[in-house]
Amino acid sequence: MEYYPDVMSEEESNSMARKFGALITDREWGFWAVENIDDNHFIGFVGLHETPSDLPVTPCVEIGWRLSKKYWGCGYASEAARASLVVAFRELNLPEVYSFTSVSNKKSQAVMQRLGMSNTNNNFSHPMVPENSSLNEHVLYKIDKKNWLEKCKDTHK
């Protein structure tokens, strides 16, 4: 939770997991659990989510990830996010997908760039982050289906 204003309590985390599970049950997509294949240990989540209505880019679908710090830099976020984009563009036929993070979160921005996403240069103040927080200003990245198909035509035929 390095790039979030607060750490969640166990009950808050469990509540969020139940919400994600219910959303997947309802629409068959969402933020999916990610586990380490070597030991089946839960390491976080990656996937797609309809953004809250109070963000400046809504309505839209975002791609996001939250992994245990121990697994940062191992390629899990990029690998799972690529699979999520296949769902977004091949199965859901979405026209575009967005991602956002605090300006200081360079690691997530690097994942966005590896996915072929482009910085829209439309930074915004995240309404769920206190205004005086260094995490309030967010960058906004985007990829559309046409550009994704061009970047992935050799690997996702």
Residue 112 predicted with pLDDT over 90: yes
Q: What residue ranges define each of the domains in the chain, with the CATH number in brackets?
A: 10-152 (3.40.630.30)
Residue 49 predicted with pLDDT over 90: yes
Q: Choose from 19-28, 36-45, 77-86 the range with maximum mean pLDDT.
A: 77-86
For the stretch 98-107, pLDDT in tens is: 999 999 999 9
Tell me the pTM.
0.86
For the stretch 115-132, pLDDT in tens is: 999 999 999 998 888 888
Q: DSSP characters for the chain?
A: -TTSSSPPPHHHHHHHHHHHHHHHHHHS-SEEEEEETTTTEEEEEEEEEEPPTTSTT-S-EEEEEEE-GGGTTSSHHHHHHHHHHHIIIIIS--SEEEEEEETT-HHHHHHHHHTT-EE-S--EE-TTS-TTSTT-EEEEEEEEHHHHHHHHTTT--
